[in-house]
Structure 1
Amino acid sequence: MTDAQTPSEDLPQLQVNMQYIKDLSFEIPGAPHSFIEMQGKNPEIPIHVDVNVANVGANAYEVVLHLKVEALLEGKALFILELAYAGVFTLNLPEDQIHPVLLIECPRLLFPFARNIVADMTRDGGLPPLLLQPLDFVQLYRARVEEMNAQQAAGQA
């Protein structure tokens, strides 16, 4: 007799099937001069984040976390990094929970790996490693829902 419980197929579940780099680009357009220009200066580093979801099978979804990071000094790009980091997730959830889980929890699971790739790429590119701060995927989800609602309201007007 064992006390171990096996997960029931009826219980809500989120399973990570795989994770991978879907696309990665890193460039230093003005090298080697940009290394000299950066010394002792703090460039502006805007970070653009997006999440895309595609159904890839029965209850299986590909979630892609897109990050675009630029270092700008006086409007000039010192480096540009674009990363699409993806995961395939299987969800056994109630229908009303699928959308938020795909756009909040799945990217939250992918983010630490994407953050590590960004740090490694900037370091390997001869720069100090860029450590991204944690992202608030709940806030990003809310903003996305508000934007979709505004577009629907504008379309009905």
Structure 2
Amino acid sequence: MTDTPETPAGNGQGAGPAGAGDGAPTPPPLAINAQYIKDLSFEAPTAPGIFGELQKRQPDINVNVNVQATPLGNNAYEVVLVTRAECKLGESTAFLTELSYGGVFTLNVPQEHLRPVLLIECPRILFPFARHILANTTREGGFLPLMLGPIDFVAMYQRHAQQQQAAVEAASDQGGSIA
């Protein structure tokens, strides 16, 4: 056994297998530059009367999550996790909260991996922070904390890709034949 550190496969000069051979370190594939609340709103339009009603009945809670990605230049991207949660008791809205939680990421990944990283991995990083903010916001609004369960961003990405493919096929079907 030796006390020398192991070097990654490659030329032994500090450059990885895909390195340029000049010894320059390769940048990480993903770097988080900033995280922030871009927009946050909370409304309890039927408070305080709704508090008594919530003691008697179970509310319906509807949560929608969306991911937006915008290039900023120099391999930097803004990724925004947009969450909207509405708690209803019958026709009455107990609360409505909307959060846009953003992050700026620098990505050094191949072009074919860019979209999945932006729409799967980046939201996966942002989600625990957004979840915490939503739980605190609803708690501070006088309600039980809204504890969102895990979100399968891979399934969201695949569903969105299928919807886009179906839209492309529908558009080509409409303009493709002459009857």
TM-score, length-normalised on structure 1? Answer: 0.93
Counterpart check, 1:124 vs 2:116: no
- Per the alignment, residue 82 of structure 2 pairs with 66
Quote the offset at 1:3 in angstroms.
4.3
Quote the offset at 1:125 in angstroms.
0.6
Identity %: 48
* Equivalent-residue separation in structure 1 for 2:36 and 2:158 (angstroms): 26
Which structure has more RCO (C-alpha within 8 Å, separation ≥ 6)? 1
Is 2:86–2:96's contact at 8 Å kept on the other side of the alignment?
yes
Counterpart check, 1:99 vs 2:115: yes
* Equivalent-residue separation in structure 2 for 1:4 and 1:39 (angstroms): 62
Is 2:46–2:92's contact at 8 Å kept on the other side of the alignment?
no
- Per the alignment, residue 9 of structure 1 pairs with 26
Deviating beyond 6 angstroms after TM superposition, the runs of 4 or more aligned structure 1 residues are 4-7
* Equivalent-residue separation in structure 2 for 1:62 and 1:16 (angstroms): 10
Counterpart check, 1:89 vs 2:96: no
Quote the offset at 1:4 in angstroms.
9.2
Amino acid at match of 2:57: K
SS in 2 for 1:61: strand
Q: Which has the larger radius of gyration?
A: 2
* Equivalent-residue separation in structure 2 for 1:40 and 1:15 (angstroms): 48
Unaligned runs of 5+ in 1: none
Unaligned runs of 5+ in 2: 8-13, 16-24, 174-179
Post-superposition Cα deviations, 1:82-120, rounded to whole Å, max 9, x if no partner, equal 000000000000110000010000000000000000110
TM-score, length-normalised on structure 2? Answer: 0.82
Match of 2:92 among 46, 66, 76: 76
Amino acid at match of 2:83: L
